[in-house]
A and B are shown apart, each in its own frame.
Chain A
Amino acid sequence: MSNVIALTDITRVFIMGDQQFAALKGVSFDVAPGEFVAIMGASGSGKSTCMNVLGCLDRPTSGSYLLDGVDVGGMDANQLAEIRNRKLGFVFQGFNLLARTAAVENVELPLVYAGIHAKERHAMALAAMAMVGLAGKENNHPSQLSGGQQQRVAIARALVNDPAVILADEPTGNLDSSTTEEIMNLFTALNRQGITIIMVTHEQDVASYAGRRITFKDGLIIGDTQ
């Protein structure tokens, strides 16, 4: 089975005025289906830049990136939007749910942009919410949900389009320790069902839930342990 992610010699150079700053200086790694990977590193180590590249939100300066066997290097903005829509699920530190919008509608959002019909969309969203243990909270607005519940809605939203990989950027950064455990257990459970997860974190104990840890420093990988 081919790798979900294959990064080869990725660099990313930011130009600020006449200064050049290399956030990634040649990063290569593969992620096989069903893996749970934690990307670690101090701030400024390049892990967030790497996540943006993985998430097709940013384009590498050089190197090749195969996502689910597809080279995303030469794609335009619309094609990247479609890749994000169909192959990726995002979970953010700040939940990033739409305010004043029911939970189920938040979960439906990726399907709206995928052009799926309302009825089917609703059924898929309900199923995803059940998967994260939020059955019965469908019509609550984000402000009526706890932090943990909001993050579960975000996870359901990431799951709903059946992506090749879920990208989680500091998913527990805004949560207390017991909720952190709850969310990490959910990730672990989802991973056991065969879902590939890549998670950025700087906390050792959060990273310990993952089966594999990749450590960044100064734009390079300095550790990759199973």
Chain B
Amino acid sequence: MDFLQTLKIAIRALRTNKMRSFLTMLGIIIGIAAVIAMMAVGAGARHVISQQIASIGSNIILVIPGSTTSGGLRTGSGGAQTLTSDDVKAIMNECPSVEMAAPTTRSSGLVVYGNMNWSTVIMGTTPEFLAIREWGVSAGRNLEQQDNDSASKVCLLGQTVAENLFGSADPVNKIIRIKKVPFTVIGMLDRKGQSPQGQDQDDAIFVPLRTAQRNLVRTQTLNSVGAVMVKARSEELLGKAEEEIKSLLDQRHRISNGKEPDYSTRNLSEILAVAEQSSKAMSLLLGVVASISLIVGGIGIMNIMLVSVTERTREIGIRMAIGARRNDILLQFLTEAVLLTMIGGITGIILGAVGAIIVSNLLSWPTLISVESVSIAFFFSAVIGIFFGFYPARKAASLNPIDALRYE
């Protein structure tokens, strides 16, 4: 018997019991739709995270001061002020794999313009910082080396700060007060969006490092800095750059073997790896949930196919008497089961894709429907059909024709 005929018989059998076929498919439809929608949302999230991290730069190393103990309380990473501007200069000059290094000091405070005020993060840094972050200005000019050397009271505004202080007015050349100290706004930064941790990166003001050290941050020594952002010459040199920084700082800070260093380094590719790992774990979890629903759907199909075999015992007997081989019967019922799951699978794929698009529109959450996920879903629905259809089909094929013909 040719396959087309088998398919025709299977379609007719499914159409005979439309409602039942639909309800049977529903398990697979829901399972596959869930898989597609979840994979789409998961892939979208992963895409955004990796894009955000790529926007910061994957060849960046953060050097963070170590913790300090004050009155028996350890302050946690970054609490100590063990790094200095001189360390940063040394890193730039003595580490061949390092392209740029930018020291930062971070404080927060109230910013006032006219009758408007806004609490925000004030970053003291050098022009290199914005170069490393590949962060340009949308109005006015960028920080320059001279601003730092002369510790001038100038600042760059992030978009969020500019909006809150100036509304739609042009902030350039206006005077604002940062912690009561007057600063001239020299420019406004491009919009950067959220960081991978969900912080608004545009809610910040940038001032020259030396200005911050003198006027805004209370530091133990005048030239101590917070975190240092270092850019390696290439992604491949990231590891080497990190090694060079470590040995240089160990030497400068007199940290001999076995002694705990007073600084630590992190690179963003590690953060990326962690983010990817957690999203993989999430996908795995969703996959398990989806598999369970698919298995439940598959059992539903097996159940209905068994009922169908019993109902159609006489038909099977007729077909056998007339010359159907056991394989013909087996194939017929298997085709029916696979057809059920495949139609369910295709419907589920469409439903899942529509669901993902709705989610992405409603929650403005990006979704990504990959060819991979669609083909996996399709393949799985076929496999479920074969797996759960085989037992009923074999039961049908192993019927004795005489008994089957006599079945009422």
Residues of A in contact with B (beta carbons under 8 Å apart): 52, 55, 57-58, 77-78, 81-82, 84-86, 90, 92, 96-98, 100-101, 109-110, 112-115, 157, 161
- Is B358 an interface position by the 8 A CB rule? no
A98 to B320, CA, bound (A): 13
For A58, what are the chain B residues with a Cβ–Cβ distance below 8 Å?
402
Asked if residues B321 and A57 are in contact (CB atoms below 8 Å), the reply is yes
- Is B53 an interface position by the 8 A CB rule? no
Interface centre among B314, B328, B405 (most CB of A within 10 A): B405
Asked if residues B323 and A84 are in contact (CB atoms below 8 Å), the reply is yes
A-facing mask of B294-319, CB < 8 A → 1, else 0? 00000000000000000000110111
A52 to B5, CA, bound (A): 28
Residue of A nearest to B4 (CB): A118
Given contact pairs A84-B323, A157-B322, a sample of 15 additional A-B residue pairs in the complex whose CB atoms are under 8 Å apart: A57-B321, A58-B402, A78-B327, A90-B321, A96-B317, A96-B318, A97-B318, A100-B12, A110-B323, A112-B5, A113-B1, A113-B328, A114-B323, A115-B1, A115-B2
Interface class of chain B by DSSP: helix
For A81, what are the chain B residues with a Cβ–Cβ distance below 8 Å?
320, 323-326
Instruction: Please report the total number of B residues contacting A with Cβ < 8 Å.
Output: 22
- Is B355 an interface position by the 8 A CB rule? no
With contact pairs A96-B405, A112-B1 given, residues A78 and B326 touching in the complex (Cβ less than 8 Å): yes
Which of A82, A98, A101 sits near B323, CB closer than 8 Å? A82
Residue of B nearest to A58 (CB): B402
User: How many contacting A-B pairs (Cβ < 8 A)?
Assistant: 59
- Is B401 an interface position by the 8 A CB rule? yes
Residue of A nearest to B6 (CB): A112
For A78, what are the chain B residues with a Cβ–Cβ distance below 8 Å?
325-327
Q: List 14 A-B contacts (CB under 8 A).
A: A77-B326, A78-B327, A81-B325, A82-B323, A85-B322, A86-B323, A96-B314, A96-B317, A96-B318, A96-B321, A100-B12, A109-B322, A110-B322, A157-B322
A86 to B317, CA, bound (A): 17
A77 to B320, CA, bound (A): 10
For B314, what are the chain A residues with a Cβ–Cβ distance below 8 Å?
96
- Is B364 an interface position by the 8 A CB rule? no
Which of B1, B318, B325, B402 sits near A82, CB closer than 8 Å? B325
For A101, what are the chain B residues with a Cβ–Cβ distance below 8 Å?
12
Residues of B in contact with A (beta carbons under 8 Å apart): 1-2, 5, 12, 16, 314-315, 317-328, 401-402, 405
Which of A52, A90, A100 sits near B322, CB closer than 8 Å? A90
A58 to B320, CA, bound (A): 12
Nearest CB on B from A64, distance (A): 21
Nearest CB on B from A211, distance (A): 26
Interface centre among B16, B317, B401 (most CB of A within 10 A): B401
For A85, what are the chain B residues with a Cβ–Cβ distance below 8 Å?
322-323
Nearest CB on A from B227, distance (A): 76
Asked if residues A52 and B326 are in contact (CB atoms below 8 Å), the reply is no
For A161, what are the chain B residues with a Cβ–Cβ distance below 8 Å?
323
A84 to B1, CA, bound (A): 15
Nearest CB on A from B244, distance (A): 76
A115 to B327, CA, bound (A): 14
A119 to B1, CA, bound (A): 15
With contact pairs A92-B405, A112-B5, A115-B1 given, residues A98 and B318 touching in the complex (Cβ less than 8 Å): yes
For B325, what are the chain A residues with a Cβ–Cβ distance below 8 Å?
77-78, 81-82, 113
Asked if residues A113 and B326 are in contact (CB atoms below 8 Å), the reply is no
A57 to B320, CA, bound (A): 9
Asked if residues B319 and A109 are in contact (CB atoms below 8 Å), the reply is yes
A112 to B5, CA, bound (A): 8
